[in-house]
Amino acid sequence: MRNIKLVLEYDGTNYNGWQIQPNLPTVQATLENALTKLTKTPIQIIGAGRTDSGVHAEGQVANFHTTSEMPPTAFQKGLNATMPKDIVVCSATEVSPEFHARFSATSRRYRYTILNREYPSALSRQTSYFFPAEIGVKQVNDLCQILVGKHDFSSFQKMGSDRKNPVCEIYEIHWRKKDPYVYFEIEADSFLRGMVRAITGTVLTFNRKFLLASGGKNMKYPDADTQLRRILEAKDRAAAGMSAPAHGLSLICVKYSI
């Protein structure tokens, strides 16, 4: 059996997430159907991250095992020729039998894109979240450093999730502005379901407090650090803020040591 690694890009707008669900369109199901037709044998594919409904990817990684003798480039070209245009295989390579897209990963990096101006966009409405209030990039950047490190992130986990261990280690959090967008990037060893969107929404709630406390000048809210620590320590989703919409989120890369 050969082990083939794929790097994928997709627009998640028309899909109910990555993972196969009965009678619903998903990225995994679309990919498996295309591979089965291409190889004429049933194929099961493993994804590095189970992106939610409406979430996009620029660097999703997947792997599958096959007895097919097709060269990797043939898999790439064949899949791109048969799948919908909103899913693209960026690369296909043969890897060691031990490689596992999910369990071999050392970290994943997500980007949340915010359109930060007074009017929305007709062109980026499916890939960015329109947020007209000014974002204090330095203030939210400083605040988020509290989350860096190993913590129990239960307060930012989607209700009803079945993950038993809510501890993740965040390696880096960074907010940056490139008009008219603000980008929030976060890298961790793993993520809870809905975690990035919950952090984004909670931080944007604090951003509103910055504006109110400073009369619109977006200076730091005095108790922000204490309040965010309390949210983290509460280990209760109800303690945190809203979840930002799915369409602003994208899985941008997955890193491996093998």
Start-to-end CA distance of the chain, whole Å, equals 19
Q: Which of 11, 52, 142, 152 is catalytic?
A: 52
CA dihedral of 245, 91, 96, 72, whole degrees rounded to 10 = 140
- CB pairs under 8 A, 24+ apart, for 166-174? 166/192, 166/235, 168/192, 168/195, 171/107, 172/148, 173/141, 173/144, 173/145, 173/147, 173/148, 174/141
Distance CA 258, CA 2 (A): 16
Catalytic site residue 86?
no
Distance CA 121, CA 128 (A): 9
- Catalytic residue annotation: 52
